[in-house]
Chain A
Amino acid sequence: MYHYSNFDHKFVAERVAQFRAQVARRLDGSLSEDEFKPLRLMNGLYLQLHAYMLRVAIPYGTLNSRQMRQLAMIAERWDKGYGHFTTRQNIQFNWPKLEDVPDILQALADVEMHAIQTSGNTIRNVTADHFAGAAADEIADPRPIAELIRQWSTDHPEFQFLPRKFKIAVTGSPHDRAVTQAHDIGLRMTLQDGLRGFEVIVGGGLGRTPMIGKTLSPFVPLEDILPYLEAVVSTYNLLGRRDNKYKARIKITTHEHGIDNIKQKVETQLAKTKPLFTGEDMHILKEIERHFEPPNFKPANPPVEALSTTSHHPAFRAWLDTNITPHKEPGYAIVSVSLKKPGATPGDASAAQMRALADIARDFGHDELRISHEQNVILPHVHRADLPQVYHALRQADLATANIGLISDIIACPGMDYCALATARSIPVAQQIATRFHALKLEHDIGPLKLKISGCINACGHHHVGHIGILGLEKAGVESYQITLGGDAGADAEIGTRAGPGFGADEIVPAIERLLLGYLQLRIDRSESFLAAYRRLGLAPFKAILYPQARKAA
């Protein structure tokens, strides 16, 4: 993985020192809150409902064991013993005290981490496929280019005050696990005549006005990607609306001006930016690529296709069935560690769990960890022969839940339990749904299902692209939950359709139960997933199940 250069170390150290002085000036009254707020946001520090919240970037979701151990230390020393992994591959600490934040930032800098540009109208943490560098289906590891983008976008003088925040996601696989079509820019690696490049997608985004991104260019050669990105962001910087924050994202700019018009402007801008890139970026990329050399994989021995059949432990077999993904290297597996034990808060890990994950990564995972946008932790490189020991160690840490891709593997934003913007709670709804379906023993029968919950229209919980999405709102002074159906976050992303009126807090779990029991009746057989059944049948039969009273009235 990438290790900081002297420049990186110096830059991050300077920012910590600056913020230390800014906090001191705020505490002694030299700075007002209006003056201090933009400074703290530049360093990822929000003031939420009950406390400050520090959002720490995990670039393209990659961590080593030392970093994970440091996050555990921070959680214990300065927070309440846990951290919350987010849908943008970040970690949030929910209870830091203002005066401790400079020390936390220093502790992060000690392990080559920071919280810079995790807020504000800047280019945010670059996200990537959480199986990058390990997936059997990828063209190449997308993380070197993601790191190049991180370096280019960090403190980029032209892009510190964009019309609105700007999110970039990268995938090296045609099987999109990075939701590239729901980002301001999505990059999908492709090959043309044997040369690597990217399909560039712009104007995707969820939130108040959900939109699926459009292809701006089907192929930009690798060596042109940085000038091309610079041209796109420059075009947006000038064209994007600053009069209305709800119309400021590039998705609205693209919608209002049209993709062809944007394309023309980007091409014109590219003619100016391209000569400014003299090839130095490709030298830097070459250097970065050295940091992402694959680990020294062990031989594929013993042949472990047989693992699931040789294992007689049913819980281990169930875990192998759901939490393991094929690895590009024979003899290896990708392990997804679920942070979604039924009843737990999606995405939360205790300090003890973080340390256990760090130990497992060190002992069995070539020292690598990933955070997925689905709020789970990935051990990307585990030898299949080590899977029983990894499972055992995860079990000891209460991390062996076998539910990846099932209904209880729910994405949920912090909602009104923490977030100052939320209009309703998300966490209790996720907890109740997961607990209910676990009790019903229906999870495996229902099969693949993406349920995603947001506690407000900003859609941090990606509800628009959930097969089932739940959006928490306020209606007449109480929490109300809208259901959307048929969304998809994959390679052919789709925005879900709102099913009808919202449900009260005490009605939403029974509604989801009704919906899925109905699906079990409607599907052709077990091989037809919820999403496939929805696509075959359309909204009407599911709507009738959700609103039986309306059916009676009709």
Chain B
Amino acid sequence: MPVTPISKVVTANDLKSGEVIYLRFPHSWTPDLTMASVITDRDLARASLVFAQGQANVVVGAYLSDVIKDTDGPQASHFREKFRSTGPSNYRHGKQEI
């Protein structure tokens, strides 16, 4: 039986600022979704999540999130994740301040 392909990133909130961040291999975190490492292997996804959850003094609430691969890098596939990756729509705050 064919295995459904996956396309995921590990995301969490930064412990100090609460900012949305993404895992970038091998060991760093980026606030920019397009710079995140896209995981297509299930075992690697599980291992990456375990790694992220082990970073309890750096991040909060790590989980795997579906992405769509784009020429500009990964893009969120669900609107909630899209808002997390961009920031609120009423002010240019958070990631939009740059």
Binding site for B on A (CB under 8 A): 26-29, 32-33, 47-52, 80, 94-95, 97-99, 345, 416-418, 425, 427-428, 431, 474, 477-479
Asked if B4 lies at the interface with its beta carbon under 8 angstroms from chain A, I say no
- Partner among B19, B56, B80, B88 whose Cβ is within 8 Å of the Cβ of A32: B56
Name the residue on A nearest B53 (C-beta). Answer: A33
Give the chain A neighbours of B80 by CB distance below 8 A. 49, 416, 474
Q: How far is the CA of A29 from the CA of B90 in the complex (A)?
A: 35
Asked if B93 lies at the interface with its beta carbon under 8 angstroms from chain A, I say yes
Write the nearest CB–CB distance from B66 to chain A, whole angstroms. 11
Q: How far is the CA of A479 from the CA of B13 in the complex (A)?
A: 24
Q: How far is the CA of A501 from the CA of B43 in the complex (A)?
A: 41
Give residues 57-98 of B contacting A (CB, 8 Å).
57, 60-61, 78-80, 83-84, 87-91, 93-95
Given A29-B57, A80-B93, the answer on whether A417 and B88 have CB atoms closer than 8 Å is: yes
Given A80-B93, A97-B18, the answer on whether A50 and B87 have CB atoms closer than 8 Å is: yes
- Partner among B18, B87, B90 whose Cβ is within 8 Å of the Cβ of A52: B18
Contact assessment for B88 and A27 in the assembled complex, using a CB-CB cutoff below 8 Å: no
Q: How far is the CA of A167 from the CA of B84 in the complex (A)?
A: 30
Asked if B17 lies at the interface with its beta carbon under 8 angstroms from chain A, I say yes
Give residues 35-64 of B contacting A (CB, 8 Å).
56-57, 60-61
Contact assessment for A51 and B19 in the assembled complex, using a CB-CB cutoff below 8 Å: yes
Give the chain A neighbours of B27 by CB distance below 8 A. none
Given A29-B57, A51-B94, A417-B90, the answer on whether A99 and B83 have CB atoms closer than 8 Å is: no
Contact assessment for B88 and A418 in the assembled complex, using a CB-CB cutoff below 8 Å: yes
Write the nearest CB–CB distance from B10 to chain A, whole angstroms. 16
Chain B 9-44, CB within 8 Å of chain A: the 1/0 string?
000010111111000000000000000000000000
Q: How far is the CA of A417 from the CA of B84 in the complex (A)?
A: 9
- Partner among B78, B90, B94 whose Cβ is within 8 Å of the Cβ of A431: B90
**Main SS class of interface, B:** loop
Give 30 CB contacts A-B under 8 Å.
A26-B15, A27-B15, A27-B57, A28-B57, A33-B60, A47-B18, A47-B60, A47-B61, A49-B80, A49-B84, A50-B18, A50-B19, A50-B20, A50-B88, A50-B93, A50-B94, A51-B13, A51-B94, A52-B18, A95-B18, A95-B93, A97-B16, A98-B17, A417-B88, A418-B88, A425-B83, A427-B90, A428-B89, A478-B79, A479-B79
Contact assessment for A97 and B17 in the assembled complex, using a CB-CB cutoff below 8 Å: yes
Give the chain B neighbours of A50 by CB distance below 8 A. 18-20, 84, 87-88, 93-95
Give the chain B neighbours of A425 by CB distance below 8 A. 83, 89
Write the nearest CB–CB distance from A335 to chain B, whole angstroms. 26
Q: How far is the CA of A478 from the CA of B60 in the complex (A)?
A: 27
Given A32-B56, A417-B90, A428-B90, the answer on whether A98 and B16 have CB atoms closer than 8 Å is: yes
Contact assessment for A80 and B91 in the assembled complex, using a CB-CB cutoff below 8 Å: yes
Give the chain B neighbours of A48 by CB distance below 8 A. 18
Contact assessment for A51 and B17 in the assembled complex, using a CB-CB cutoff below 8 Å: yes
Give the chain A neighbours of B88 by CB distance below 8 A. 50, 417-418, 427
Give the chain A neighbours of B79 by CB distance below 8 A. 416, 474, 477-479
Beyond A51-B13, A425-B83, A427-B88, list 19 extra A-B contacts (CB 8 Å): A27-B57, A29-B56, A29-B57, A32-B56, A33-B61, A50-B94, A51-B18, A51-B19, A51-B94, A52-B18, A80-B91, A95-B94, A99-B16, A416-B83, A417-B90, A427-B89, A477-B78, A477-B79, A479-B79
Given A50-B94, A417-B89, A477-B79, the answer on whether A33 and B56 have CB atoms closer than 8 Å is: yes
Give the chain B neighbours of A33 by CB distance below 8 A. 56, 60-61
Give the chain B neighbours of A416 by CB distance below 8 A. 79-80, 83
Q: How far is the CA of A50 from the CA of B94 in the complex (A)?
A: 7
Name the residue on B nearest A30 (C-beta). Answer: B57
Name the residue on B nearest A34 (C-beta). Answer: B56
Q: How far is the CA of A99 from the CA of B18 in the complex (A)?
A: 11
Give the chain A neighbours of B57 by CB distance below 8 A. 27-29
Give the chain A neighbours of B16 by CB distance below 8 A. 27, 97-99
- Partner among B18, B61, B87 whose Cβ is within 8 Å of the Cβ of A98: B18
Write the nearest CB–CB distance from A415 to chain B, whole angstroms. 9
Q: How far is the CA of A97 from the CA of B16 in the complex (A)?
A: 6
Write the nearest CB–CB distance from B38 to chain A, whole angstroms. 20
Give the chain B neighbours of A345 by CB distance below 8 A. 90-91
Interface core residue of A51, A417, A431 (most chain B CB under 10 Å): A51
- 6 closest A-B pairs by beta carbon, nearest first, are A51-B18, A417-B88, A52-B18, A29-B57, A50-B94, A345-B90
Give the chain A neighbours of B60 by CB distance below 8 A. 33, 47
Write the nearest CB–CB distance from A94 to chain B, whole angstroms. 8
Contact assessment for B83 and A417 in the assembled complex, using a CB-CB cutoff below 8 Å: yes
Give the chain B neighbours of A479 by CB distance below 8 A. 79
Q: How far is the CA of A95 from the CA of B80 in the complex (A)?
A: 19
Q: How far is the CA of A173 from the CA of B46 in the complex (A)?
A: 59
Q: How far is the CA of A379 from the CA of B55 in the complex (A)?
A: 49
Give the chain A neighbours of B95 by CB distance below 8 A. 50
Give the chain B neighbours of A431 by CB distance below 8 A. 90
